Amino acid sequence: MRVRSFFLGALAAALSALPVASAAQPQDESPALQTITVDHGVELHYLERGTGTPVVFVHGSLSFGGYWSDQIGPFSEHYRVIAYSRRYNFPNTNPIRPGYSAIVDADDLAELIKKLGLGKVHVVGHSYGALAALFLAVRHPELVRTLVLAEAPAVSLLGHLPGGRAATGKAILADIQTRMVKPMKEAFQRGDREAGVRAFMAYVFNDSQAWDKMSESSRQETLKNAREWDAMMTTGELFPELDPQAVRRIEAPVLLLSGEKSYSFLKPIDEELERLLPRARRIIVPGTTHQMWLEQPAVCRQAVLDLWRNLTAGPPARSRSTPPSPAGHYGGRAPQLLSRDRRRAPARSPSPESRERSARSARGGCRTP
């Protein structure tokens, strides 16, 4: 099966990127795909590597835990890394239950953290996985050390934008509901998965022919990874309500990663999260789309490591008269964790390997909100 082959390929890539074995990591030790049972017998597959402070990676829609294969090795040099697949994503085969949404994902994640005895963790989420991470911080704050959110589709926030942005936010929210969510629901409720994914692709790419422009093999792979929407769009909810005041109460430090060329409807959401979160820093990754983790993996990784190292070392002293480094640059050192400290990551030329991964992702329809 092509999906299984892709998973095994992602796993092999993760293994090849692992550091040279040390005394703490014997040479014959290799990470194995494991399972853990959470709520009501739901089984989650996950990969674990490394020791130290735990880091949990959460993938987005039309994806699975293998999305993070290029990050497992580098992060596991200094951290205990867990990358898992959400309940209806490959290779999980859980029966569909009613009421599925990012809230359920957050509770699944909380159970995984507790059952693995991880304590407080760093959570790195992409897209819908970032939305699940947000709900984790709201519902289970005692489990969260830091959050890294790559464009969480917290769509409900668009209905609560302040001042002069209110009308624009409500208009975008209505457009999402009318041109994306409604046709997706109608299609999935009549059992037409392809029409549902077609509606999604047409909206996010702003191209009614986006689905038809994909190769047949890419369309088939995308359909196989859309099982979560069979649950969400029939008895669940794609974009559950996120209380802005609950977001304000998140005390964990948060790094927001935004793609410079990402989907237009995600920009005001990231801007509002930056405004609401009391300990947030936002970095715009130059030249990237929603798939910034595939297009600029080293830049994204360095931004995350800078955040964690800064927390460990404590913020460098800076007098009131000393301005922060200019927006758009790191200024030669890790940026301070400042409330709503917006910075643009330094551009780096992507490697041929990362360009190919990004191209494969686009062909496979994996650009996910």
Task: Report the CATH fold assignment for 2-160+241-363.
Answer: Rossmann fold (3.40.50)
Angstrom CA distances, 180 to 155, 177, 238, 247, stand at 12, 6, 11, 25
The CA distance from 185 to 58, in Å, is: 24
Angstrom CA distances, 334 to 87, 171, 306, stand at 36, 38, 5
- Predicted pLDDT of residue 314: 56
Residue 112 · residue 43 · CB < 8 Å: no
Angle, nearest 10°, between helix axes 69-76 and 297-313?
A: 30
Residue 61 · residue 127 · CB < 8 Å: yes
pTM over 0.85: no
- Predicted pLDDT of residue 80: 97
Q: How many CA atoms lie within 13 A of 105 on its CB side?
A: 31
Neighbour count for residue 283 (Cβ, 10 Å): 24
User: Which tokens hold the place of 171?
Assistant: 């208009």
Contacts of 241 (CB under 8 A, 6+ apart): 156
Q: Give the start-end residues of each E strand in 10-151.
A: 34-37, 43-49, 54-58, 80-84, 121-126, 144-150
- Predicted pLDDT of residue 321: 29
- Predicted pLDDT of residue 39: 87
Nearest to 69 by CA among 4, 8, 3: 8
Angle, nearest 10°, between helix axes 193-204 and 216-224?
A: 110
Nearest to 69 by CA among 83, 53, 79: 83
User: Which tokens hold the place of 180?
Assistant: 């994306």
The domain ranges of the chain are: 2-160+241-363, 166-235
| pLDDT tens for each residue of 8-22 | 444 434 333 333 333
Per-residue pLDDT tens digits of the chain, which is 369 residues long: 333 433 444 443 433 333 333 333 333 455 789 999 998 899 999 999 999 999 999 999 999 999 999 999 999 999 999 999 999 999 999 999 999 999 999 999 999 999 999 999 999 999 999 999 999 999 999 999 999 999 999 999 999 999 999 999 999 999 999 999 999 999 999 999 999 999 999 999 999 999 999 999 999 988 988 999 999 999 999 999 999 999 999 999 999 999 999 999 999 999 999 999 999 999 999 999 999 999 999 999 999 999 999 887 654 433 322 223 333 333 333 333 333 444 445 544 444 444 444 444 433 333 334
Nearest to 236 by CA among 102, 59, 88: 102
The dihedral built from the CA positions of residue 88, 92, 97 and 101, taken in this order, carries a sign that is: negative
Cis amide bond preceding 253, omega within 30: no
* DSSP 8-state assignment for residue 164: G
Helix (H) or strand (E) holding 183: helix 182-189
